[in-house]
């Protein structure tokens, strides 16, 4: 589902910083454990979306924010979107 979030953000005109954890990423396991801890979930939330340095959530949260109209204002507030 990571591709869904990437396509949404690119489609909105956002140029997100992306860290792919699959494959042989050095320290990938440590990053996944960190993401699990900050999300408060039992399992790692992937994709883990941060906006302005703050954890927003996973794909469900991002899509919900997009549908309810809060994603674009949030991105604008942190300077990630200039519409």
Which is higher by pLDDT, 35 or 72?
A: 72
pLDDT at 83: 67
Which is higher by pLDDT, 75 or 44?
A: 75
- How does pLDDT run across 21-62, given as a tens digit for each residue? 876 678 888 888 888 888 887 888 889 999 999 999 999 999
pLDDT at 21: 81
Q: How far is CA 63 from CA 6, 29, 33, 49, in A?
A: 11, 26, 24, 11
Domains of the chain are: 31-82 (3.40.30.10)
DSSP state of 55: E
């Amino acid at each position: 589902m990571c591709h869904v979030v990437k396509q949404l953000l690119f489609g909105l005109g956002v140029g997100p910083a992306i860290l792919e954890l699959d494959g042989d990423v050095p320290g990938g396991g440590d990053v996944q454990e960190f993401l699990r801890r900050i999300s408060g979930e039992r399992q790692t939330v992937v994709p883990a979306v941060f906006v302005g340095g703050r954890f927003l959530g996973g794909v469900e949260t991002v899509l919900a924010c997009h549908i309810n109209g809060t994603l674009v204002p949030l991105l604008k507030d942190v300077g990630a979107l200039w519409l």
